[in-house]
Structure 1
Amino acid sequence: MKALLLATLLAQAVLPSLAHYTFPKLFIGSPPTVLADWAAVRKTLNADTGAPLTDPTSPLMRCYETNTAALTATYTINAGNIVGFKSNVPVDHPGHMSIYMAKALPYASSEAAGSGNVWFKVAQWSPTVTAGSWNFPSQGQQSFQFTLPLCLPNGDYLVRIEHIALHAAASYGGAQYYLACGQIKVVNGGNGTPSPLVSIPGLYTGNEPGILTNIYYGTTSYVPPGPPVWTC
């Protein structure tokens, strides 16, 4: 009986963490070159726990870290190449996935990079609702990639992945934010003008219909939060 009770308690202790995830790996190319954990991704404060953010106005919404920029490598990538993130475990929660970029001044390895209206969206995987049935393209997946636009200007950038988990989003503050920032230098780029530019934090209030939503009852469509995806 004691052994059964101990096993039950251990299972209860482990199960909650299985739903949590981080994005420690950056990869490029096809077939991909996968970098080591936290090599070119700023090590997030939830690296050990996987715990999400729940306040969309928090300064931590930018990259979920403090003072790790200078400790993180900046990886050089050609415009037009594939860039992606790999999570430590498959994304368990239903939700909305997006990737943002920001021109990093003065460098990607500067803690001040990403300040102000400098962020633009480059990819997203949005839920869809058909005849009352939800589909979450990011759920159960572990790798998320996009192609760097050929017209993207040269320079240092932050690449930020963000998953908004919606399983408890029916009330304000229930949405969970899982995110991380990679550091890259783009070469052989073009003369495009990324837009629209937004600030993080400042992008969300938490009241947006794609964040404050009930995926279990009454919702017949999904509106992705944030700006549209920028293309050349």
Structure 2
Amino acid sequence: MTNEVTVPLLPCASIDDIENFYVVLGFSTTYKQRRPNPCVGMQREDLHLQFFEIAGFDPAQSYGSCLVLTSDIAELHRAFATGMRAAYGRVLVFGMPRMTRPRARKNGDGLGGFSVIDPGGNWIRVFQKPATMPPPTPAPAGRLAKALANAIVLADSKGDVCQAARMLDSALARSQAGDDPVTHIEAVVYRAELAMALHDWETATEMLARAKHIALNPDEAGRAAPTFEIAADLAAALQ
């Protein structure tokens, strides 16, 4: 048979917290009950998620996760970010809930993706459908680019922010004149994002300031523009 639909059923500590958060992201409630078991269903267009409440559940220890495949990760991320800005005044980039940025994942065959970590500690991992991926652009080669790719896997995929930060610190401490300046800026801004996830405001501020002082030619400035937009979001969140 064809046209089957699978809907993830994920744990949480509070279905009310889950419902409130997903409404911010543009979801609507399709079903909610308190008895005999608390659960809630959320829907945004063709994206369906359901959640069940567990008394005493610790979201920080959750293994809940699912994959979402979409034809336009940038548009979906933009919609989620708009909802967060309207509700919270900023994009949530640290703590729980939070959302990572769309980035190509080395461990996902180079597919672009981002993750939403909801109040239940569930990782909703959003990836571009392979059939709709644009032709890949060659990634800058070199030690710093490899370190950044590995750090993204550690933090954005595995949630190991501390190890990712240590990896980037080591790479940035040995930066060389031959490093691609745009990759350098991407690494520094990503390190600022990791610092915020670790509540290390001093390092985050230092890294964002460092990014502004990396020299760029006009072509490099154009390539770095999306990263500077991320930096502006991070700076706003620091205030």
TM-score by length of 2: 0.33
Higher strand share goes to which structure?
1
Q: Which is bigger in relative contact order (C-alpha 8 A, separation at least 6)? A: 1
Higher helix share goes to which structure?
2
TM-score by length of 1: 0.33
